[in-house]
């Protein structure tokens, strides 16, 4: 199966080089690699000049085309006509050697699937405990595996605000559990959203859908928006055997105040994409959870060493929440 890889990058030449080195070791290699560079400098271009990778095509976009969703759409428009699948990777990921083999195998086994997500392995510690295990209040259990629950979910469970759908699905009040709550079982799970930085889709999907340019710059939750829209028309899967690491390189990220506002406002936008007319109960739950998560983040002002970052992000979340009442995002 012919497939393309699009990597959108911004001021991360070293992280990108590390990723490309793991791409070069793949058991199944992309038919083309499109690098879409939004950096204001030429450091990424210079790095690629010094290091050669098979089938790589480099694009440097103008300032008007910068931003994750714009760069993805730019790359999609330039994918080879013979490609059947388009893969996306964040520039700060590191792949297991059979990553693409597992992704493409999923399309072969499930010809009806529209998109397949990869599985991040370095962010959560899971333990296999069997099918009869009874989880404690500070644990999350799924399909024979357990992991620790953070304070946000412990409080949500106490208050009756936990998600009522499986990981990778969004309840009516949003604030579901992400695909990070799916265990490393080696199985393929049905989902309705997954991370854009470890995503792939049939090329035919892009005849109907584009990444929304509402998500400017860093693009927080742009992946949830896109996959939720696609999932309304067909199946999405996450293959936990398609493994990689995500290292969250600090370069290119927004400041904490802007990030805090984005968490709330972009979260509201994605919620309304899924549920344009939520019930009064769902609205109440969404706002209560949003304020609860803001309060939990505020406790980090005194409980962590990064007090300034915690305060700034909390302030951004508060202002983002208030702004919904006089200038909510248009869906």
pLDDT value at residue 220: 87
* Tens digits of residue pLDDT in 133-154: 999 999 999 999 999 999 999 9
Question: For residues 164 and 172, what is the distance between their CA atoms, to the nearest angstrom?
Answer: 9
Q: What is the mean pLDDT of the chain?
A: 95
pLDDT value at residue 186: 97
Residue 99 in this model has a pLDDT that exceeds 90: yes
* Tens digits of residue pLDDT in 50-92: 999 999 999 999 999 999 999 999 999 999 999 999 999 999 9
pLDDT value at residue 11: 94
Q: What is the 3-state secondary structure (H, E, C) of the chain?
A: CCEEEEEEECCCHHHHHHHHHHHCCCCCCCCEEEEEECCCCCHHHHHHHHCCCCCEEEEECCHHHCCHHHHHHHHHCCCCCCCCEEEEECCCEEECCCHHHHHHHHHHHCCCEEEEEEEECCCCCCEECCCCCCCCCCEEEECCEEEECCHHHHHHHHCCCCCCCCCCCCCCCCCCCCHHHCCCCCCEEEECCCCCCEEEEEHHHHHCCCCCCCCCCCCCCHHHHHHHHHHCCCEEEEEEEEEEEECCCCCCCCCHHHHHHHHHHHHHHHHHHHCCCCCHHHHHHHHHHHHHHHHHHHHHHHHCCCHHHHHHHHHHHHHHHHHCCCCCCCC
* Tens digits of residue pLDDT in 170-184: 999 999 999 999 999
Q: Average pLDDT in the 11-31 region?
A: 97
* Tens digits of residue pLDDT in 295-308: 999 999 999 999 99
pLDDT-derived band at 217 (thresholds 50, 70, 90) equals low
> In Å, what is the CA distance from 216 to each residue of 68, 90, 157, 213, 223?
7, 16, 33, 6, 13
* Tens digits of residue pLDDT in 246-292: 998 766 667 899 999 999 999 999 999 999 999 999 999 999 999 99
């Amino acid at each position: 199966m012919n497939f393309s890889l699009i990597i959108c990058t911004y001021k991360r030449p070293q992280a990108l080089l590390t990723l490309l080195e793991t791409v070069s070791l793949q058991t199944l290699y992309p038919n083309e690699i499109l690098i879409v560079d939004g950096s204001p400098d030429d450091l990424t271009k210079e790095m690629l000049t010094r290091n050669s990778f098979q089938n790589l095509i480099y694009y440097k976009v103008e300032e008007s085309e910068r931003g994750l969703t714009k760069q993805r759409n730019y790359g999609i428009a330039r994918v080879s006509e013979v490609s059947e699948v388009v893969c996306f990777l964040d520039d700060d990921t590191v792949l297991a050697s059979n990553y693409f083999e597992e992704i493409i195998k999923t399309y072969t086994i499930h010809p009806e699937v529209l998109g397949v997500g990869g599985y991040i392995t370095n962010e959560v510690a899971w333990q296999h405990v069997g099918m009869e295990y009874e989880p404690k209040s500070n644990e999350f259990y799924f399909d024979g595996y357990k992991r620790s629950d953070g304070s946000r979910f412990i409080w949500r469970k106490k208050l009756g605000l936990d998600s009522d759908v499986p990981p990778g699905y969004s309840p009516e009040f949003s604030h579901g559990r992400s695909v990070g709550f799916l265990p490393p079982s080696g199985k393929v799970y049905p989902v309705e959203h997954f991370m854009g930085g470890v995503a792939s889709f049939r090329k035919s999907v892009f005849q109907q859908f584009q990444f929304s340019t509402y998500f400017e710059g860093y693009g927080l939750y742009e992946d949830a928006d896109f996959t939720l829209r696609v999932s309304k028309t067909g199946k999405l899967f996450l293959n936990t055997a398609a493994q990689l690491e995500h290292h969250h390189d600090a370069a290119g990220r927004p400041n904490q105040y802007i990030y805090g506002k984005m968490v709330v406002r972009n979260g509201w936008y994605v919620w309304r994409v899924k549920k344009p007319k939520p019930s009064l109960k769902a609205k109440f739950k969404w706002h209560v959870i949003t304020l609860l998560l803001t309060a939990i983040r505020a406790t980090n002002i005194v409980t962590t060493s990064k007090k300034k970052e915690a305060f700034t992000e909390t302030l951004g979340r508060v202002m983002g929440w208030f702004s919904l009442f006089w200038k909510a995002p248009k869906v």
